[in-house]
Structure 1
């Protein structure tokens, strides 16, 4: 069986949250969001290699939180870079073989079943990401005050974890950074690899606003 690895990127400053505390450290259900995220992957596979990417300025605080909450799931810490691209690249330096997922630190509610779908699909297709359908109508801006409808049946909303063979992801991250790289799939696609889509979850939210916090509390309480 391939070694499974997960890079959890947690470099957010919480600006949209309007909080002094970086959003990955804000408590939901009695413990910081980031601990929920790490725990989701530990519950999926007790032997998964976890690499947490944090800004250097946040690392001591994270270690204090781990002591405070008696959080002892084993993980390595890599130092965040200038952008998410550079942070993932730094995390990859800790990984040598198998499959590697990349996860938003503030996306804490992915189920074991969804994580398994992503890793299983990556085992078969080498690159797999979870997506959900759009339930809203969509419009594309064609000018300053003009727009046109988009066929939402052709649109998928992308989530994480995005899972790849380590060899492919490391090769992709040798590419020079551009602003068109909005996620890991876009980096891998740039070297000509097809991205396989798997079924995501509507509860697999990214916690970025105060409303998301309220939704997150509801999800945690509903699962108790």
Structure 2
């Protein structure tokens, strides 16, 4: 059985979330912090040998005070992130276990990913070396012109062949390490983009649109509904010492 390290970036500034008390990975969702729901999807898998949560330096003290017992009990490693997402993933890559053959990178603010989707993208990465979850674009796409609150349509863009990238994004260890070693200063919005720059093909694994990323506070309500209707996830040996409403204050 191949061994996977899972990296969960949670060091972003959450500027669009709109809550001065919480960053989105730490906001309460069904009586637990968002990131705890997310880590549950991976922590009990036999093929996952390590989980690394990436947090911001400014959050370290409060995070350790609130979630230190969770980290110890669930055997989660912590890395301190940087200004950009790629900086955060790079910091986590330095902590990857020698056991890991593959690296899975999954947004800490995506708590609704299904087990069958993780199975599928892990298997695809084992075959091709690089695979991501994604959904085909179904909506008509418009490119806007102008700025402010009332932009106008500049053109309609063909949706043929377009997919919306999700996570996990999973790569052979040497491949993603090479991609990060060669990333340079050009921005990248996801990890697959760095692998693409190496000329390596990345497999698209069709996924459910319910694998949402929490971006604003209203997304929490949708995520709660999704979790309630999903098959129950009861990983062995997982406890939540800090369940309750006061998850971050």
Question: What TM-score do you get using the length of structure 1 for normalisation?
Answer: 0.91
- Of 93-102 and 115-124, deviating more is 93-102
Q: Is the counterpart of residue 83 in structure 1 residue 84 in structure 2?
A: yes
Q: Which runs of 4+ in 1 moved over 6 A?
A: 68-71
Q: Which residue of 2 aligns with 1:114?
A: 117
Match of 1:194 in 2: 201
- The verdict on how the C-alpha distance between 1:197 and 1:70 changes in structure 2, with shifts beyond 3 A counting, is closer
- Indicate the structure whose relative CO is greater, using CA pairs within 8 Å and at least 6 residues apart: 2
Q: Secondary structure at the match of 1:7?
A: strand
Q: Is the 8 A contact 2:8 2:108 kept in 1?
A: yes
| Secondary structure of the structure 1 residue equivalent to 2:214 | coil
Whole-angstrom distance in 2 between the partners of 1:109 and 1:79: 24
CA distance in 2, matches of 1:192, 1:47: 27
* Preserved CA contact (<8 Å) 1:51 1:78: yes
Asked whether the equivalents of residues 39 and 73 of structure 1 are also in contact (C-alpha less than 8 Å), the reply is no
* Residue 186 (structure 2) pairs with residue 178 (structure 1): yes
Q: CA deviation at 1:117?
A: 0.8
For 1:51-66, what aligned pairs fall within 5 Å after superposition?
51-66=52-67
Deviates more, 1:145-154 or 1:105-114: 145-154
Residue 4 of structure 1 corresponds to 4
Q: Which residues of structure 2 form unaligned runs of 5+?
A: 147-151, 233-249
The answer for the alignment partner of 1:124 in structure 2 is 127
Cα distance in 2 between the residues matched to 1:6 and 1:70: 14
Please provide the CA RMSD for this pair: 2.0
Instruction: Indicate the larger mover: 83-92 or 93-102.
Output: 93-102
Which has the larger displacement, 77-86 or 8-17?
Answer: 8-17
Does the 8 Å CA contact 1:131/1:157 hold for their aligned counterparts?
yes
Q: CA deviation at 1:69?
A: 6.8
C-alpha displacement of 1:43? 3.9
**What whole-Å deviation, never above 9, does each CA across 1:33-57 have from its counterpart, x for those lacking one?**
0111111112444743101111122
What is the CA-CA distance between 1:3 and the residue it aligns to? 1.6
Write the mapping of 1:13-24 to structure 2, written as runs, cut at 5 A: 13-20=13-20, 21-24=22-25
What whole-Å deviation, never above 9, does each CA across 1:94-122 have from its counterpart, x for those lacking one?
A: 12440101111101111111011111100
Deviation of 1:68 after TM superposition, in Å, equals: 7.3
Query: Where in structure 1 are there 5+ consecutive unaligned residues?
Result: none
- 2:212 aligns to what? 205
| TM-aligned CA deviation for residue 219 of structure 1 | 1.4
Distance in 2 (alpha carbons) for counterparts of 1:86 and 1:24:
18
Query: Whole-Å Cα distance in 1 between the matches of residues 83 and 201 of structure 2?
Result: 27
TM-score, normalising length: structure 2: 0.83
